Amino acid sequence: MNCDILVIGCGPAGLSAASYAARAGYDVIALDSLAPGGQLLYIDEIENYPGLESKSGYALAESFEKQAVLFGAKIEFAEAKSIEKRDKLFIVKTGDGEIEAKAVILATGARHRHLGVPGEDEYQGRGVSYCATCDGPFFRDRIIAVVGGGDTALTDALYLSKLGKEVHLIHRRDQFRGQKALEDRVRAKENIILHLGKNIKSVNGDGRNVKSLTLSDDTELQADALFVFVGIIPNSELVNGFAELEGGFVKTDEKMCTSVPGLFAAGDVRTTSFRQVVTAAGDGALAAHQADEYIQNL
Binding site for ligand FAD (CB under 6 A): 8-14, 31-34, 38-40, 42-43, 46, 48, 79-80, 107-110, 125, 130-131, 134, 235, 238, 267-268, 275-278, 280
Closest CA to 215 of 168, 259, 182: 168
- Nearest by Cα to 268 from 278, 255, 253: 278
CB nearer ligand FAD, residue 176 or residue 283: 283
In this complex, which beta carbon is closest to ligand FAD, that of residue 204 or of residue 236? 236
Contacts (Cβ under 8 Å, ≥6 apart) of 121 = 114, 128
Q: How far apart are CA 266 and CA 14, in angstroms?
A: 7
Catalytic (active site) residue 10: no
Q: How far, CA to CA in Å, does 228 sit from each of 60, 108, 110, 157, 234?
A: 24, 22, 15, 11, 17
HSE-up (13 A, CA, CB side) for residue 203: 29
In the chain, count H helices and then E strands.
6, 19
For residue 221, give the DSSP letter. Answer: E
CA-to-CA separations, 47 to 34, 36, 43, 53, 135, in angstroms, rounded: 25, 20, 10, 6, 9
Q: How far is the CB of 56 from ligand FAD (least distance, A)?
A: 11
CB of 21 to ligand FAD, least distance (A): 15
**Shortest CA distance to 264 belongs to which of 274, 275, 251?**
251
**Which of 121, 220 has the CB closer to ligand FAD?**
121
Least distance to ligand FAD, CB of residue 48, Å? 5
Residue 173 CB, nearest distance to ligand FAD (Å)?
A: 26
User: Minimum distance between the CB of residue 191 and ligand FAD, rounded to whole angstroms?
Assistant: 24
- Catalytic annotation present for 135: yes
Q: Round to whole Å and give the CA distance between 272 and 269.
A: 9
Q: Shortest distance, CB of residue 295 to ligand FAD, whole angstroms? A: 22
Distance, in Å, from the CA atom of 39 to the CA atom of 12, rounded to the nearest integer, reads 8
Distance CA 128, CA 17 (A): 30
Distance, CA of 140 to CA of 152 (rounded, Å): 20
Catalytic one of 4, 10, 32, 135: 135
Catalytic residue among 10, 134, 224, 268: 134
Catalytic-residue membership of 134: yes
Contacts of 207 (CB under 8 A, 6+ apart): none
**Would you name the residues annotated as active-site residues?**
131, 134-135
